[in-house]
Amino acid sequence: MRKTRKPISRLEKNRRLVARGLWVILIVELIFVALLAGYFYYVLPKSKPKQVPNVVSIKEHVNRAIKTGKIISEEPVGVFSADAVQRLVVQTNKRFDSPITTEVTKQTFVFNSSDGQSDNVPIYARVYVPAGTNKKPVLAFAPGTTGVGDSCSASLEDPAKKDWGNYDSLLMAYASQGYVVVAIDYEGMRDANRLHHYMVGELAGKAVLDSIRSLKNLALSKDQIDDTKVFSAGYSEGGHGAYWADQIKDDYAPEINLKAAIGFGPVTSVEETLDDATNGANINWFGPLIVASYGDWYKAAYPVDKILLPKWAKTYQTASQAICLDMFNKTWPNNIGDNRSNQVYTPEFIKVAKKLNIAADAAYAGLSADLAKNIVGSKKTDRPKLINHGIHDDVILLSQSQHGLERMCVSGNAVTFKKYDTSPYAIQDYNQSGKVDHYQVMNASFKDTISWMQNILSSQPVSNNCK
């Protein structure tokens, strides 16, 4: 018997119609997606994937952008035998007993630096290259004050006639221990077209960094340096420059692998150095040099007659350019014993300077603001710092390095602070006591500084007075 089909209800018919419709919509959507994918794959042009530059390409890009540190001129080289190096070193350190076994080649040359407006600022420098085919660490050195006139340039020093520090002797000591040493004159020195802008931190820091760059371009040194092992260092004014090189390196010279910065009796605050002229420091000449330098660089009209006594207010600009370090204390009254700052500075300036706060008087607000632009220690960098200071320093007072240490620590830096009282290496004809003063700190700290740098290079811990 034939089985009859049960009639479909209207509700079931509607349900089936909806299901068929959904299936049709799904199939149409799949076809559309397939057509769209085919369009993008076969019709539209294919763009290359964005490539992330590797380390080499970044370095190449940085190097293409470098415009400074190029060699402008070179003087003939001089070769010093190991015995000649020994004789030169003992001129400033009669008890030098570190081994000297290799000859050192010295050359004076000129490279270009920047002042922020021009990349054609010529800088004189001297390089000391120890013999040997091995790659050597670099010590970029900035000297202490020799004067601001062109004739006072450190590269022109003749210690037998005018001794401004005998930097050849001091720097040969480091070269004798295997360092390629490059020592700068400053911006504006031996340059008839511009003044030397004394104690302008950014200019000195750029000159130090560009001296490091120049070693890669100088035939004598380019194959001798290990550019992964670089230090900046300086004495007095030069310590200020060495620390400024550290402060601006990441922006100005990111390609330089600076390991650390070192100061010997360093200026860390230009204002405090000026103030200390009224607090017993033997540095009465500092104010006239600063007023002349900063007035020109910052285009400022400082109230000179409220800073310097009439005699010096009239002559400070010409006197600053005319004499070098050996004549400073014969021109400006020596500030020892009876504190003769009152023979150079006005009573109103002395009143606020003795309190280390010249900004307290509105008349000096502009000068104070420009001095503050050149402070050291207010910026954190990842590189350790070394401060070497003589306890008997009467030029850059020990208190200044203590204040500099405090600023560096507050900013998050790591600092080794070494104070020297007496040292056998400080004994000289004029200083038989062995007390470590401003000048003697370089000799007294020599071995400690070499050890400190070697620890940095071998990734060994160094003391941190900020902890």
pLDDT tens, residue by residue, 53-77: 343 334 444 455 899 999 999 999 9
Give pLDDT, residue 449.
Answer: 98
- Dump pLDDT digits (tens) for 280-312: 999 999 999 999 999 999 999 999 999 999 999
> Which residue stretches of 129-200 are H helix?
167-175
Residue 138: pLDDT band (50, 70, 90) is: very high
Q: What CATH number is given for 57-269+375-457 in this structure?
A: 3.40.50.1820
Strand pairing of 180-184 and 121-130? Answer: antiparallel
Beta-carbon count within 10 A of 206 CB: 26
| Residues forming beta bridges with residue 158, ordered by sequence position | 162
- Which tokens go with 401? 């390095």
Cβ–Cβ < 8 Å for 213, 179: no
Q: Is 361 buried (19+), middle (13-18) or exposed (0-12) by CB count in 10 A?
A: middle
Domain spans in the chain, listed from the N-terminal domain onward? 57-269+375-457, 271-372
Residue 232 has pLDDT above 70, yes or no: yes
- The closest of 209, 236, 190, 199 to 395, measured between CA atoms, is 236
Give pLDDT, residue 2.
Answer: 42
Residue 4: pLDDT band (50, 70, 90) is: very low
Residue 34: pLDDT band (50, 70, 90) is: low
Mean pLDDT, residues 22-48: 51
Residue 23: pLDDT band (50, 70, 90) is: low
Mean pLDDT, residues 98-116: 97
The string of DSSP letters for 32-71 reads HHHHHHHIIIIISPPPPPPPPP-HHHHHHHHHHH--SS-E
Give pLDDT, residue 463.
Answer: 97
Give pLDDT, residue 60.
Answer: 41
Global confidence as pTM: 0.86
- 3-class DSSP state for residue 125? strand
Q: What is the percent of the chain where pLDDT is above 70?
A: 84
Average pLDDT, the chain: 89
Give pLDDT, residue 55.
Answer: 39
Residue 388: partners with Cβ closer than 8 Å, 6 or more residues away:
262, 263, 264, 265, 418, 420, 441, 442, 444, 445, 448, 449
- Is 233 or 57 the better-scoring residue by pLDDT? 233
Give pLDDT, residue 434.
Answer: 86
- 3-class DSSP state for residue 317? helix
Residue 22 has pLDDT above 70, yes or no: no
Range of lowest pLDDT (333-342, 427-436, 438-447): 427-436
Cβ–Cβ < 8 Å for 357, 387: no
Distance, in Å, from the CA atom of 233 to the CA atom of 242, rounded to the nearest integer, reads 5
Cβ–Cβ < 8 Å for 233, 140: yes
Mean pLDDT, residues 140-158: 97
- The closest of 229, 241, 130 to 185, measured between CA atoms, is 241
Cβ–Cβ < 8 Å for 202, 116: yes
